[in-house]
Amino acid sequence: AVSAPIRGYPAPRPLAAMAKGEMGPRALYWASQATMCVSILVFFFECFAYNMIFLRRILPAVGKAHLVSVFRVLFNSVWILGLWSYHQAHWCDAGEVPERWYAFVRYMGESLPIAPARPEWQPASATLCKKCQAPRPERAHHCMLCGKCVLRMDHHCPWINNCVGLHNHKFFLLLGIYTWLASLVALGTSLPELVRLAGIAVGFESIDDLQGNSNSVRMWDVWAFLIYGLFAVLIALLLTSLLSTHVPLACRNMTTIEDFYENMPNPYEHGGRIGNLAQVFGEPGVDWIFPVQPCRPTSDGILYPPPKHLRADAFGKGSSRDFDALRLDEGSDFGVANRWALLHEEGADTESAWRIRYRVRSPDQMKSLHEDATNPLSGHFWACGRGDDRKRLYSNSVAQARAAARYA
């Protein structure tokens, strides 16, 4: 379901609407659908060929029936984890910007600074999406195919026909890892038989040597199993390339979009692989190896835990509080709340952290901005698309901002 649009802004288009849209998005939509269908067919063909042809016919025919049970458990355990990961990666909401964020933006009004979106690091800044024409949190980006902004978006993956974002980035990585392992297991356990059947296919050996019992191998088995081997090699090579890109990025707490940013060092770097992977997989635990939502997530997609080695003032400063008393590190009470309780609680505590993070202006600052004739405040809001009465997010925004700041 698509969230209701912010007042004065056009509603984002759902994915299905792309099928009836302009030629570019429509072609990409159907290409993504076709790619997903191919990936599913290959996924199940590999399982069928390994279990019904290799384990049921070929291994007994070559006198290795004692290995069938071991190979079946080894391959299918990894394959099932891969299928589970695929299901989660495809069906899980990648991270649509929640309505609660838009309510926060409406309530803060003009006291919430909104910066124009640029292809660079913009920590602790709400930016204006050029497509949705609505403010979005840091690290969120717009997906043209899904027609919406996605929290900590990595990319739109045609193989799963879904965006890869905050809520399914873990599933995407597990899908790649388990499918890669399944391909290696399939090739490693069947390589001698693949070589032998290739020799039969080109005429170097006779298929008669594999016949003469109830599990005799037929020629169509040979060709089907060789196609299986070809797919397994191609999948292994493809996923080796994919994982060699995405795993190192996850180990640095970066997305493929952010990999091109050069205006500053990565402000979300946590100084180690485990700390960075925790931003995708949640706090270390057994749930890392299963395609389930993290038991102890580190972020809600709007507020990110700051690295210990960075100064607190690099991650936002509350205008009406002494920020030094609320340093965003794990050693402070506020840091603990930010890292644990704020991710699960509803109410003022979370929004107070948002106000600090996104530098919501105090009533005194708002008064100073409005009284200073030389300050281009109206120009700033025109640049962000908020100066037109028809596209204003709120009514009486200054009064709302002052009321909200009383809780900051």
139: left (phi over 0), alpha (psi -120 to 50) or beta: left
What would the two tokens of residue 302 be?
């709007």
How many contiguous H segments (helices) and E segments (strands) does the chain have?
Answer: 12, 7
Chain centre distance of CA 374: 43
What would the two tokens of residue 77 be?
């355990």
Q: Is 251 assigned a catalytic role?
A: no
What would the two tokens of residue 313 be?
């003032």
Cα 152 from Cα 258, distance rounded (Å)? 10
- Residue 291, helix vs strand vs coil: coil
Cα 155 from Cα 94, distance rounded (Å)? 10
What would the two tokens of residue 249 be?
């990025």
At CB < 8 A and 24+ separation, what contacts does 237-245 make?
239/176, 239/179, 239/180, 239/183, 240/180, 242/176, 243/173, 243/176, 243/177, 243/180
- Which of 47, 157, 163, 384 does the annotation list as catalytic? 157
Cα 131 from Cα 27, distance rounded (Å)? 19
**DSSP one-letter string for 298-366:** S--SSS-PPPTTS-GGGG---TTS-GGGG--STTSHHHHHHHTGGGT--SHHHHHHHHHHTTPPPHHHH
Q: Tokens 């205008």, residue? A: 319
Q: Tokens 């007042």, residue? A: 7
For 38, other C-beta atoms within 10 Å of its C-beta total: 12
Active site residues: 157
